Structure 1
Amino acid sequence: MHNKKKGLSMWSVSTLIILAIFGLFIIYPLLLVLVKSVIDPENGKATLSYFFKFFQKKFYWSTLINSFKVTIVATILSVLLGLPIAYIMRSTKIKGSGFLDILIVISYLSPPFIGAYAWIQLLGRNGFITRIINFLFNVKLNGIYGFAGIVLVFTLQSFPLVYMYISGALKSIDNSLNEAAESLGAPSFKRITSIIIPLIMPTLLASSLLVFMRVIADFGTPMLIGEGYKTMPVLIYGQFMGEVGGDDGFAAAICMIMVIVTLLLFILQKFLSNRNSYAMTALKPMVAEEVRGIKGLLCHGFVYLAVFMAVLPQMVVIYTSFLKSNGGQVFTGGFSLDSYKATIFTKSNMAILNTYKFGLIAIVAIVIAGILISYLTVRKRSFLTYIIDILVMFPYIIPGSVLGISFLFAFGDYPILLSGTSAIIIIAYAIRRLPYTVRSTSAIIGQISPSVEEAAVSLGASEIKTFFKIMVPMMMPGVLSGAILSWVTAISELSSSVILYNSGTQTLTVSIYTEVIRGNYGNAAAYSTVLTFTSIISLLIFFKLTGKKEISM
């Protein structure tokens, strides 16, 4: 009995410590953003003037409309690509499907803004494809910039997420329903629309809303190729980091509008997934069949083209990094290592070291916190662990630029001065990417029967010993799946890093972004190649450790 109390008190203490950390690094910064958005700095009185300013001027509120336009179109196109590819890959034998799976994951793990930069190389005003089209058809194309370019980049970068979710859902479908419909004479298209899509609708909605939230919060892509087409994250950055000192109160108000929008989207996702959730056991799973003739050609062609378009940015980036250039801006023909000499092999270059150092420290914190939080929220359910479960998703929902600004408000001065230190970036990484590990680990714990722990305790093991010796090893597949996503997305983080960094804490993503802004495309390509290969190597290590060939979502 004494051991039980000790175990319970340990979990209670852990719960309170985690709540205190979340209170300091999530609730406190966001409360400061709220306060700054409704308090007049001159007289200290409550005001809604900043919000009125936003909705009274078309220049400001049109960015919100722009964000919704881009996000809705990109989400629809991502579904229209991701859904058929997932179905074809599950139902049809596609040559090289295992390799295609890995390419799709790699294309998803690459930061969207690298895709934007690569498409500038291809379809910018002086892009490779643009020059060919201009020469062949005697036209003068204006390039990829604006609405169409942003949508293209987001679609090609987001459909892999829909693909991974739908692919997982199709595994659990009982194919006997499909076969029954076929025997009753239902054509292929009718079976897909009447049986398959309704069965995977909860997953389809969940993945669509995740794409929506990811796209609406992205800063790098619209910043690089938006030009006159501004979105909310770009407006937030411009208002806070303005050359004339920026307007903290107005930036805070825009941040609050974004927080409200993303929170409403998250609540909608929760409502839809709870309303449409059900369990299904695939007694007869879908089996990939050989398809010949014109249908087989079309299936292969569609999948190969989509995957090629998705990985094209990475290929362009790697190729560009080895081109001879005139100081990085103009490619002069031929190949050289000049871009690598100017970036990676410079003595003053700390970007790569910082990226790995910050990412590794953050991932250690994420794994420890992820294991604890997942166990508490699944096995030790209480009102406090329910609050933790909600709070852990906040940094995932909230745009990175909003989190970065809230951190500067909270930790830009005493008593807690973290601004300008590596600690503030590491904390931002850990807080922002923790949900991946928590969600995947929670899913694994949910599959472990509580009787396993009860048996160990009945044999004399303490609750703490049971947790470390039995539960943690059993949780490892979920921990590793989440950790790889946390790691790769942490080292690819731009939105918060670009606001929080200084010259001593610059990371790879910030270096890529600043080089692109300066027009040093060779240098940007060299940095991007390092980031791309880091993601690929991380993925291969994950596959080797787990024996898997895919990342479960």
Structure 2
Amino acid sequence: MNCAGEKRFSVWTSFSLIILAIFAVFIIYPLLLVLCKSVIDPHSGNFTLNYLTKFFTRKFYWITLVNSLQVTACSTLLAAALGLPMAYVMRSVKIKGSNWLDILIVISYLSPPFIGAYAWIQLLGRNGVVTQWINAAFNIKFDGIYGFAGIVLVFTLQSFPLVYMYVSGALKNLDNSLNEAAESLGCSSFGRITKIVVPLVMPTLLASSLLVFMRVFADFGTPMLIGEGFKTIPVLIYTQFMSEVGGDDGFAAALCVIVIMLTILLFFVQRFFADRSTYAMTALKPMAAQQLSGIKKILSHAFVYLTVGLAILPQVIVIYTSFLKSNGGQVFTGGFALQSYEATLFTKNNDCLWNTYVLGLVAISIIVVLGILISYLTVRKRNLLNSTLDTITMFPYIIPGSVLGISFLFAFNHPPLLLSGTALIMIIAFAIRRMPYTVRSSTAIIGQISPSVEEAAISLGASEMKSFTKVTVPMMMPGVLAGAIMSWVTVISELSSSIILYTNSTQTLTISIYTEVIRGNYGNASAYSTILTLTSILSLLLFFKLTGKRDISI
């Protein structure tokens, strides 16, 4: 809180106003412009609801929203149903190789969902290895994973690690004496889980489920690759905008408005239920993993190994197929070779690698600096201005990337801010979209730092700014790095917004992967995907090295 004698206008107020102005230009203004375009006739300039009416009166359009909600709801429920028991088993049972399993779970989450879709096509596509075996063994005609079931499968296996990481972090703070007290009163193991553990971690479960919901709902690549006739709203937004960008773009704007309103509504619903079931926990006696025996040990190990194996399988398939021989990258001919890497790294223009790392590093630098300032302002300098800033930083959490990309083109396709087609618009989109990871992680860590530490530095003669830079920031770094690593790996794997904003000179790895898959060049796509996966793994190992941790606390 601000001290009574503190100046009403200080350097911190200046920071707040500057950051708020940045967000107003790059978040509020583009979204307001989308809203205006959705209800203004471009020819007469009059108010109209024709675009919204067009969507809700034609089944071809509104069914995509129903499809998205079906896929998202099923994937979120299954991810929660898988992530919660995984976290509990890994925390309460001694599982052999648990440290490595933790790392594999995180790695399985780091790659874009559409890479998982591509990998499952290799296994369960119409000509996939498993599909051919099933058809030959059972003499049936299995058409593969395309459609609703395939999309849900990919999203579930790719999203449950997020629930796992959140719930696992919450279980660290659970006081096991509550379980022991319940056991002494005759409560069964299942009863303790349902009546004590689940209610205590419910706010965390809801928060992680919301992130899964928003991520699945906004994803464009997976349903585009394996959806076929099952279209979702992000696919509709993309196809409508790309086909109408030279003419009537009002309908694309109307689609964006519908998605924004829905995601904001869901966000506040989640916040309402989370606030009603919030608990403060202090692990005076943390949960300790127990050594099981007999059938319980076998079942717990089988459940964990099978789940982790399915989650990491896409990365394994991608790396494996990147070393297979092919006839130009489309059909694998057997044997191993470096042909795909030669085609992507040496015989083709590989600016996508340079763009991915350079644009990503610039974006992550912006994210870290602004993330630290925003978290400090919202925790240490609480007022209406900073509360507004804190709320606005949550918008990128809930706005799909394709919507953000379209709003940027609407807003910055003409002077005085002509940014479309430049690297700068990509950097800004990456920074805005992925900043919440670092902001939330930094906010959590600064909440654990006592203000008395800064007050002691000031009492010894340090200025408030010097106390912030020399004392507070170094103490914040573990939380900052945890958020930054999540921001970094999501920046380099961003597809939804970059597919709208990129040009040939700003193409990134994810766009290259997507275009190669669409062209059927699976060998090239595997090589690019392997490079992206290895980059994520190296980033994770660097985080462990710098912080001395063995996991990412969220």
TM-score, normalisation: structure 1:
0.98
**CA shift digits 1:310-331 (9 cap, x unpaired):** 0000000000100001111100
Identity of paired residues, percent? Answer: 73
5 Å-filtered alignment, 1:169-180, equals 169-180=170-181
5 Å-filtered alignment, 1:20-419, equals 20-242=21-243, 245=246, 247-419=248-420
Deviates more, 1:265-274 or 1:7-16: 7-16
**CA shift digits 1:380-436 (9 cap, x unpaired):** 111111111011111121000000000000111111111111100010000111111
**1:7 Cα deviation (Å)?**
10
Deviates more, 1:47-56 or 1:165-174: 165-174
**1:245 Cα deviation (Å)?**
4.1
**1:272 Cα deviation (Å)?**
2.0
Q: Distance in 2 between matches of 1:482 and 1:244?
A: 36
Number of residue pairs the alignment of both structures matches: 550
Partner in structure 1 of residue 536 of structure 2 = 535
Q: Which amino acid aligns with 2:455?
A: E
Q: Distance in 2 between matches of 1:329 and 1:156?
A: 26
Q: Distance in 2 between matches of 1:285 and 1:375?
A: 30
Q: Distance in 1 between matches of 2:461 and 2:86?
A: 52
Partner in structure 2 of residue 428 of structure 1 = 429
Q: Which stretches of structure 1, 4 residues or more, deviate above 6 A after TM superposition?
A: 4-7
Q: Which amino acid aligns with 1:44?
A: G
**CA shift digits 1:511-552 (9 cap, x unpaired):** 000001111111100000000000000000000000000001
- Cα pair distance change 1:254/1:244, threshold 3 Å: closer
Q: Distance in 2 between matches of 1:537 and 1:455?
A: 39
Partner in structure 1 of residue 466 of structure 2 = 465
Partner in structure 2 of residue 502 of structure 1 = 503
**1:8 Cα deviation (Å)?**
5.3
Q: Distance in 2 between matches of 1:253 and 1:500?
A: 19
**CA shift digits 1:477-530 (9 cap, x unpaired):** 111011100000000000000000011110000000000111111110000000
Q: Which amino acid aligns with 1:9?
A: S
Q: Distance in 2 between matches of 1:136 and 1:292?
A: 37
| Contact 2:200 2:279 survives alignment (8 Å) | no
**1:136 Cα deviation (Å)?**
1.0
- Cα pair distance change 1:244/1:281, threshold 3 Å: closer
**CA shift digits 1:308-360 (9 cap, x unpaired):** 00000000000010000111110011111111111122352201110000000
Q: Which amino acid aligns with 1:90?
A: R
Q: Distance in 1 between matches of 2:8 and 2:371?
A: 19
- Cα pair distance change 1:382/1:308, threshold 3 Å: same
| Contact 1:7 1:464 survives alignment (8 Å) | no
Verify: 1:521 aligned to 2:522, yes or no.
Answer: yes
Q: Which amino acid aligns with 1:234?
A: V
Deviates more, 1:159-168 or 1:275-284: 275-284
Verify: 1:14 aligned to 2:15, yes or no.
Answer: yes
> Unpaired runs of 5+ in structure 2?
none
Q: Distance in 1 between matches of 2:414 and 2:339?
A: 42
- Cα pair distance change 1:86/1:5, threshold 3 Å: closer
| Contact 1:240 1:246 survives alignment (8 Å) | no
TM-score, normalisation: structure 2:
0.98
**1:302 Cα deviation (Å)?**
0.4
State the SS of the aligned residue for 2:367. helix
Q: Distance in 2 between matches of 1:248 and 1:280?
A: 50
- Cα pair distance change 1:59/1:184, threshold 3 Å: same
- Cα pair distance change 1:39/1:69, threshold 3 Å: same
| Contact 2:123 2:131 survives alignment (8 Å) | yes
- Cα pair distance change 1:246/1:192, threshold 3 Å: farther
Q: Distance in 2 between matches of 1:279 and 1:466?
A: 30
Q: Which amino acid aligns with 2:393?
A: V
Q: Distance in 2 between matches of 1:5 and 1:183?
A: 54
State the SS of the aligned residue for 1:95. coil
Q: Distance in 2 between matches of 1:463 and 1:199?
A: 38
Q: Distance in 2 between matches of 1:225 and 1:537?
A: 29
Q: Distance in 1 between matches of 2:373 and 2:537?
A: 28
| Contact 1:433 1:489 survives alignment (8 Å) | yes
> How well do the aligned residues superpose, as a CA RMSD in angstroms?
1.3
Q: Distance in 1 between matches of 2:122 and 2:39?
A: 43
| Contact 1:239 1:246 survives alignment (8 Å) | no
Q: Which amino acid aligns with 2:96?
A: K
Q: Which amino acid aligns with 2:292?
A: V
State the SS of the aligned residue for 1:332. strand
| Contact 1:213 1:265 survives alignment (8 Å) | no
State the SS of the aligned residue for 1:329. coil
**1:169 Cα deviation (Å)?**
1.1
State the SS of the aligned residue for 1:344. helix
**CA shift digits 1:135-174 (9 cap, x unpaired):** 1111111111000000000000011111111111111111
**1:183 Cα deviation (Å)?**
2.5
Q: Which amino acid aligns with 1:10?
A: V
**1:175 Cα deviation (Å)?**
1.1
Deviates more, 1:14-23 or 1:309-318: 14-23
| Contact 1:7 1:463 survives alignment (8 Å) | no
Q: Distance in 2 between matches of 1:75 and 1:122?
A: 23
Partner in structure 1 of residue 489 of structure 2 = 488
Q: Distance in 1 between matches of 2:364 and 2:460?
A: 35
Partner in structure 1 of residue 553 of structure 2 = 552
Q: Distance in 1 between matches of 2:512 and 2:297?
A: 44
Q: Which amino acid aligns with 1:253?
A: A
**1:247 Cα deviation (Å)?**
3.6
Q: Distance in 1 between matches of 2:216 and 2:447?
A: 30
| Contact 1:508 1:527 survives alignment (8 Å) | yes
